[in-house]
Amino acid sequence: MGRRCAGPTLQVLATRNAEDHTRLIMSETTKRVAFITGISGQDGYYLSQLLLGKGYDVHGLIPCNAPGIGEPPGLNLHYGDLADGGNFDSLLDAIQPDEVYNLAAQSHVRLSFDLPVYTANVTGVGVLRWLEAIRLHQLRTGRTVKFYQASSSEMFGKVKASPQNEQTPFHPRSPYGCAKVFGYWQTINYRESYGLFACNGVLFNHESPKRGEGFVTRKITRAAARIKLGLQDKLMLGNLDSQRDWGFAGDYVEAMWRMLQQPQPDDYVVATGETHTIREFLDESFGHIGLDWHKHVEQDPRFLRPAEVDLLCGDASK
């Protein structure tokens, strides 16, 4: 059973009154342009499908070294790199987006210990590059561009209280978490200093079949299937006792969009309010196909973090 630590199971920033609801419906009748960084990832996929369904003209940023993914129906793809940002100005001027969703990052926490400088450059300073490009674009054109920053529950790190909400202090425990904190505060700084419509979505873990295979949930489900088929014998994992607040990515991208439809920019936690351990996830995944994970899973110190984050549980009641 999951451990409840906050309000309803899922609170995805529902509109608060009839006036807000009417405004949201009216906004959907106008053709708008969205630009998504990290569009080839899990969240980028679900967000792009959501926005296409709402009638948006959707553009996406992909890295120059990305494998050939073609041009998905309805999407316009552009090359660029958060580690450089050299073409952000020209992209904004050419595309003229109404909304920018910055989902791109070096998002593997364990890898960030091996690549701390690169992680800081992409995941942290990359946010600043976008904010500055938007500020200058607005000065040149007089347009308003709304900005969503994908912040992370990893910013909370070594928590002293649970659940965590928008007022909980940060104590990041990885280069990734530190980089996300930098991007979080730069987003607020540009909002307060220059009046940008800029929001942070502090998303707790969220999963789907589109999750990358380097993440623990996908690693577990893929290994379970391969073991069942006789293609694999063992699964090596790190900390099995860490507790996480897992939700569904398709729900969470709806929250991203709703943040940018509010009358004023603000920062929001998005979470389920319920925690589960890696062991519980193993129970469900292996048990679903009739396997005992204890016979196939081994702990490997190579997958342990130098500084662990033991418990994350979000309060999305704002």
pLDDT for 40-69, tens place per residue? 999 999 999 999 999 999 999 998 776 555
Residue whose structure tokens are 């959707």: 58
Cα–Cα dist 278/294, whole Å = 13
Structure confidence at residue 9 (pLDDT): 39
Cα 146 to chain centroid distance, Å, stands at: 17
Structure confidence at residue 70 (pLDDT): 56
Tell me, what amino acid is at 142?
G
Structure confidence at residue 86 (pLDDT): 86
Give the other-Cβ count within 10 Å of 188's Cβ. 18
* Residue 79 among the catalytic residues: no
Structure confidence at residue 29 (pLDDT): 52
- 3-208+247-273: CATH homologous superfamily? NAD(P)-binding Rossmann-like Domain (3.40.50.720)
Ranges of each domain in the chain? 3-208+247-273
Structure confidence at residue 7 (pLDDT): 44
* Residue 176 among the catalytic residues: yes
Structure confidence at residue 306 (pLDDT): 86
Among 40, 112, 151, 152, the active-site one is 152
Among 45, 101, 148, 176, the active-site one is 176
pTM (two decimals): 0.86
List of the chain residues with pLDDT < 50: 6-16, 18-19, 22-23, 25-26, 28
Among 99, 154, 207, 274, the active-site one is 154
Structure confidence at residue 172 (pLDDT): 97
Peptide bond into 163 cis (omega under 30): yes
